[in-house]
Amino acid sequence: MSVEAYLARLPGVQAAVSDVQDRIYRRARANFASHDRPGGHRIKKGRPNRYDRAVYLVGPAPASVEFGHFTVSGDGYVEGLHVLGRASRGL
């Protein structure tokens, strides 16, 4: 077993990782609340594998909502909401 795998399994490490996930999740939901779920998007948290935790923006075009996109006609740009980026800053 690698040192990384050993450390990742420690109960204290798992608790700390879960705590950070919960803080990011709460902050992301708060950042997103005023936007009324554009395009049916939502904030979700999960465990992509045995050791890691993640917070996701889920919907038909989550990258466009987070980072921004050009309008369909191509003559304008819609700024991204950066809900996940802002939620994780300063932790």
Helix (H, G, I), strand (E, B) or coil at 47: coil
For residue 30, the Cα-to-chain-centroid distance in whole angstroms is 12
Helix (H, G, I), strand (E, B) or coil at 61: coil
CA angle 5, 16, 3 (to 5 degrees): 20
pTM for this one? 0.86
What is the predicted pLDDT for the residue at 38? 74
What is the predicted pLDDT for the residue at 35? 84
Q: H or E stretch including 77? A: strand 77-79
Task: Give per-10-residue mean pLDDT for the chain (91 aa).
Answer: 92 96 96 83 93 94 95 93 93 73
